Amino acid sequence: MSRFICCSWMVFVSLVLLSYFVPECWTKSVSGDAKASFPLTLIHINDLHARFDETNQKSAACTNPKECIAGIARVYHTIKTLKKEYKSKNPLYLNAGDNFQGTLWYNLLRWNVTAQLIKKLPPDVMTLGNHEFDHSPKGLAPYLAELEKLNIPTVVANLQLNGEPELQKSKISSSIVLNIDGRKVGIIGALYDKTHLVAQTGKVTLSNSIEAVRKEAQKLTKDKVDIIVVLSHCGLDGDKQLAAEAGDLLDVIVGAHSHSLLLSKDSKVPYDTQYDKIEGDYPIVVEKSKKHKVLITQARSFGKYVGRLTVYFDKKGEVQSWEGYPIYMNNAVKQDEDVLRELEPWRNAVKLLGTQVIGQSEVFLDRESCRWCECTLGDLVADAFADKYSNGTFRAIAVVQAGNFRNPIKKGAITNGLAIEAAPFGSSVDLLKLRGADLWSAIDHSFTLDDEYRLNTMQVSGLAVVVDLSKQRNDRVKSIQVIGADGSMKALDKQQYYYVATPSYLADGKDGFEMMKRGTDRITGPLDSDVLIEYVQKRQKITDSMFEQRRMVLENHTNGTCSWDTQDTGLALIGVNNPHASPEEIAEQYVVCKDVGDEIGWLRWKRNSIADGYVYACDVNEFNRVTGHLVLDHPVGGLLV
């Protein structure tokens, strides 16, 4: 029997309170005296990432109309409403970049759909995000050309074209000065400094954003511009640093890139309490002196919020007071009917291209087991990445973290849509030189539990790895063999450097893979979805023979195999918030998984999940799939007794 046996009729179901968007009832809390001041209302969005259509709370495709949120029809309705309501307070609509990448809409229709839908409600000023370079300057140029037809200004102070031919006709400037009600308001753009190292920027490079913004702010100040706003795509930490080092010349920083939700902790306004974490006050206030403050704001991402900050300035251009907050685009927010009509033909085009067949699979490409062991989807993607940089005499190694995958691919036809949705996060496939010791350490780290008690098992190509799960964390990799182009195997040399293909997400050291940042000679490659589609088209048929050679052997595992299913049956772990509920009532009212049947168990809990009211109920095999791999007994405490 499984050592984790628990029988209880207590189930915890999270209660999601539906919050309504009612413009007439927006609560305002003004800091200071706003009378006899110059008001400036900044309406802002950032990191839309092609969420043009409605989404669910996780910002994925929405299937239940009653639970759909976001989407530009809601976003644009809200912006139009705000412009009308704050007409007397000088509304300015700002877009802080990363409109590209994130859904099939962009993957299949790219700049075309993005430009047309951004033009549907033109921003007063916008900046670029790093993902605007996902398909190189060649993919960015026509987008900018379309926006420039409506005279939408794009500002980036630290962007250097360096003679990039595709962008020679673009009108990107460092800043723009707007005359608003007799006052000069300067808007300076800034983009993440390292964009040219992580995106396909061609000849374009990015200089130090703080130095570039300071230089431009000095120029504007000399030209008698007394209110300066920075439209930044540098991330919240970068914006804080900007305020600290150049804030004496700045008034407001409207941010992006880090997908940060800012909201005062004592605020009563609605937000997604289940999936969105508050990272600071709205706005964050940086005091440069007793008389000078810099306000920092951001509005999460994916069209889930529209920020609205009204700032009151005195005659000298100093921030006197402010009020506002991000507005949650929940299901109750009205959608713009004109925008909904505009979306329909694009939606049909996405459906048509998404169902285009690119190959066949004789294998179920499993995603569920990727967290715990080698999986067929992981093998396929890793092979695609390695193939991108391999030839007849050289075989690249590829490593891909398990968190890179979202959907499995069933046997049968593989379509554009299925390939993109299998790994939809929009990383580029980069090549770097990595020391053997760092590669070893990265794979070892992938066998460390995260805060949700999951592994992040590295999916590999060109390697054969043996892992001993009886060892302590960061000491579980027993051996690694490197597979050559001729099929020969040689032990990995920790002092040697290897060419490794990997998602940019990993190369950037995310998910605790800091050792990956030590890679050198990094080459930024194409998008992961493009690489996978190209590989499937090249192979045409995905067969069992592609996965015959084991790449990951787990020693001292509960079952001794890569399968986490258990042979134990009988008692199931049950969790319900009604101790008097019968099994029938539980199955009828509290089903979270697609098919629970007669057994209900827990799936992937966090330490405080029960106290927080979150629960994930599935069958007992899924429970064992989570707990069965634990080398040391992990006490299940609290109410799980």
Question: pLDDT per residue over 158-187, tens digit each?
Answer: 999 999 999 999 999 999 999 999 999 999
Is 50 exceeded by the pLDDT of residue 282? yes
Element containing residue 39 per DSSP (H, E):
strand 38-45
Q: Estimate the crossing angle of helix 72-85 against helix 337-354, to 10 degrees.
A: 160
pLDDT for 459 equals: 98
CA distance 450 to 457: 11
Question: pLDDT per residue over 320-375, tens digit each?
Answer: 999 999 999 999 999 999 999 999 999 999 999 999 999 999 999 998 889 888 99
In the numeric block, which tokens belong to residue 149? 């037809």
Q: Is 404 left (phi over 0), alpha (psi -120 to 50) or beta?
A: alpha
pLDDT for 451 equals: 67
pLDDT for 35 equals: 54
Report whether 308 contacts 85 (CB < 8 A). no
**Residue 277: which residues within 8 A CB-CB, separation 6 or more?**
261
Mean pLDDT taken over the chain: 85
What is the arithmetic mean of pLDDT over 19-41? 52
CA distance 164 to 205: 10
The end-to-end CA distance of the chain, in Å, is 17
Give backbone dihedrals phi and psi of 279, rounded to 5 degrees, phi first: -110, 5
Is 50 exceeded by the pLDDT of residue 618? no
**Residue 508: which residues within 8 A CB-CB, separation 6 or more?**
198, 516, 517
What is the arithmetic mean of pLDDT over 254-258? 98
CA distance 112 to 106: 9
User: Which CATH homologous superfamily contains domain 23-331?
Assistant: Metallo-dependent phosphatases (3.60.21.10)
Share of the chain above pLDDT 70, in %: 81
pLDDT for 284 equals: 98
Query: Which of 26-30, 59-63, 333-337 is the most confident on average?
Result: 333-337
In the three-class reduction of DSSP (H, G, I as helix; E, B as strand; rest coil), residue 68 is classed as coil
Question: pLDDT per residue over 105-163, tens digit each?
Answer: 999 999 999 999 999 999 999 999 999 999 999 999 999 999 999 999 999 999 999 99
Cis? peptide before 424, omega within 30° of 0:
no
| Helices marked H in 390-527 | 416-422, 436-445, 504-507
What is the arithmetic mean of pLDDT over 70-92? 99
Three-state helix/strand/coil letters over 616-630? CEECHHHHHHHHCCC
**Residue 211: which residues within 8 A CB-CB, separation 6 or more?**
158
Query: What per-residue string of b and e applies to 176-203 under the rule 16 or more CB within 10 Å gives b?
Result: bbbebeebbbbbbbbbbbebbbbbbbbe
Cβ neighbours, 10 Å, residue 607: 12
pLDDT for 406 equals: 87
Which of 353-362, 474-483, 619-628 is least confident?
619-628
Looking at residue 69, the DSSP 8-state letter turns out to be B
Q: Which amino acid is at 488?
A: S
CA distance 21 to 332: 6
pLDDT for 164 equals: 97
Domain range list for the chain: 23-331, 373-555
pLDDT for 455 equals: 86
In the numeric block, which tokens belong to residue 38? 């110059």
**Residue 591: is it exposed, middle or buried by C-beta count within 10 angstroms (0-12/13-18/19+)?**
middle
Query: Which of 61-70, 557-566, 568-577 is the most confident on average?
Result: 61-70
Which of 139-153, 390-404, 448-462 is least confident?
448-462
Is 60 exceeded by the pLDDT of residue 585? no
Q: Are strands 305-313 and 38-45 parallel, antiparallel or unpaired?
A: antiparallel
Query: What per-residue string of b and e applies to 48-82 under the rule 16 or more CB within 10 Å gives b?
Result: bbbbbbbbebebeebeeeeebbbbbbbbbbbbbbb
CA distance 324 to 42: 9
pLDDT for 473 equals: 87
Bridge partner residues of 119 (DSSP): none
pLDDT for 10 equals: 31
In the numeric block, which tokens belong to residue 281? 């006050």
What is the arithmetic mean of pLDDT over 18-35? 38
Query: Which of 425-439, 572-586, 592-606 is the most confident on average?
Result: 425-439
Cα-Cα-Cα-Cα dihedral of 436, 442, 444, 448, to 10°? Answer: 170
Give backbone dihedrals phi and psi of 358, rounded to 5 degrees, phi first: -115, -10
Spell out where 207-356 has E strands.
Answer: 227-233, 252-254, 284-287, 293-297, 305-313, 319-328
CA distance 229 to 183: 13
As assigned by CATH, the class of the 373-555 domain is alpha beta
What is the arithmetic mean of pLDDT over 464-474? 91
Q: Which amino acid is at 111?
A: W
What is the arithmetic mean of pLDDT over 80-89? 98
Is 90 exceeded by the pLDDT of residue 584? no
